[in-house]
């Protein structure tokens, strides 16, 4: 992959000239999944876009894109999404200005244990709760910046103070989006197996879409499983459904929520969840093979059924 990146950088150098410098990077995106990219920085600037090249490698191996075509696509890409230099400078140096933008996310603890050494976090069952700031561009988010111990030191802010701020921000920033699981599952099946096979499967398993559940995420549908880290939101959901909640972690971006009394009608087991994670969810987006229970009376999240480690 590094040699492939060198070929692209040679071509980019011809197109961009001497005003830019480039560097090959390997980045862990979650759960040990490594992505490969090229950092492109304009002279006299400290920050530049990191363009991932894994997709381009696949297209190159297929013979559908040449190196010059890939370089041209990257030049166009960075022209449409320039590095948010001013936003990064603001984040790194002006804590009081940006503290109201700090958000919460969750990931699998064991799968990310090596990476968690560098970022402030709290352990929650088999999960880790961590914190980030969105990088906002013209068309919404251009990326996110996970808060690290290094950034806390730069801010001269304690971990406890930052976490307290993130918890205060949660209700204001995280709009809870709740949709029917039936339509979600139907769309997912059509996407992955096609309409014809979906119709055959529906005839074979007529109760497939009988699941009485809801998909919960945030409005951005990004790291929307964060609601597992907020008991007050789970309590509101439990109170509105008047029951304990069975929670199936579909990915780091969304969770499935069911009333406990509905769970046995179409139960999703840990074996089912492990299969979904392996076959349908990108490695970096997998959250857990465990199924959770939120007890309405005790106001507590716990593991209901324990699956294998990711």
Mean pLDDT of all residues in 143-167 = 93
Tokens of 74: 């990257």
Mean pLDDT of all residues in 49-62 = 87
pLDDT at residue 178, rounded to an integer? 84
Mean pLDDT of all residues in 228-232 = 95
For 127-142, the pLDDT digits (tens) are 999 999 987 655 556 6
Q: Cα(193)–Cα(87) distance, rounded to whole angstroms?
A: 41
The tally of CA atoms less than 13 A away on the side-chain side of residue 68 is 2
The pTM for the full model equals 0.75
pLDDT at residue 288, rounded to an integer? 97
Mean pLDDT of all residues in 269-292 = 90
Concatenating the DSSP letter of every residue in 212-270 gives: -EEEEEETT-SSGGGGGG-HHHHHHHHHHHTS-EEEE---SS-EEEEEHHHHTTSPPPH
Tokens of 116: 């968690």
Contact 250/213 with Cβ under 8 angstroms? no
Residue 2 has pLDDT above 80, yes or no: yes
Q: What is residue 286's three-state secondary structure? A: coil
């Amino acid at each position: 992959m590094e040699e492939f990146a060198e070929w692209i950088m040679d071509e980019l150098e011809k197109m961009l000239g001497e005003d830019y410098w480039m560097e090959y990077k390997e980045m862990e995106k979650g759960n040990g999944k490594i992505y490969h990219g090229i950092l492109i920085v304009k002279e006299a600037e400290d920050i530049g876009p990191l363009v991932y090249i894994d997709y381009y490698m696949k297209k190159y191996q297929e013979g559908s894109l040449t190196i010059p075509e890939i370089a041209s696509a990257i030049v166009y890409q960075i022209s449409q999404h320039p590095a948010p230099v001013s936003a990064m400078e603001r984040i790194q140096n002006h804590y009081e200005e940006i503290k109201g933008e700090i958000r919460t996310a969750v990931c699998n603890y064991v799968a990310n244990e090596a990476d968690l050494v560098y970022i402030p976090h709290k352990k929650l069952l088999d999960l880790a709760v961590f914190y980030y700031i969105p990088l906002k561009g013209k068309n919404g988010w251009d990326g996110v910046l996970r808060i690290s111990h290094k950034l806390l030191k730069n801010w001269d802010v304690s971990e406890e103070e930052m976490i307290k701020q993130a918890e205060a921000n949660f209700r204001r920033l995280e709009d809870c989006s709740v949709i029917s699981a039936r339509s979600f599952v139907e769309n997912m099946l059509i996407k992955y197996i096609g309409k014809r096979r979906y119709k055959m499967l529906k005839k074979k398993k007529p109760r497939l879409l009988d699941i009485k559940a809801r998909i919960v995420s945030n409005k951005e549908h990004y790291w929307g499983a964060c609601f597992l880290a907020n008991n007050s939101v789970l309590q509101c959901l439990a109170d509105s459904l008047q029951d304990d909640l069975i929670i199936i972690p579909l990915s780091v971006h969304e969770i499935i929520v069911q009333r406990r009394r509905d769970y046995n009608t179409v139960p999703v087991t840990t074996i089912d969840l492990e299969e979904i994670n392996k076959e349908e969810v990108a490695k970096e987006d997998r959250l857990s093979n465990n199924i959770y229970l939120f007890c309405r009376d005790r106001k507590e999240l716990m593991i209901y059924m324990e699956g294998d480690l990711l």
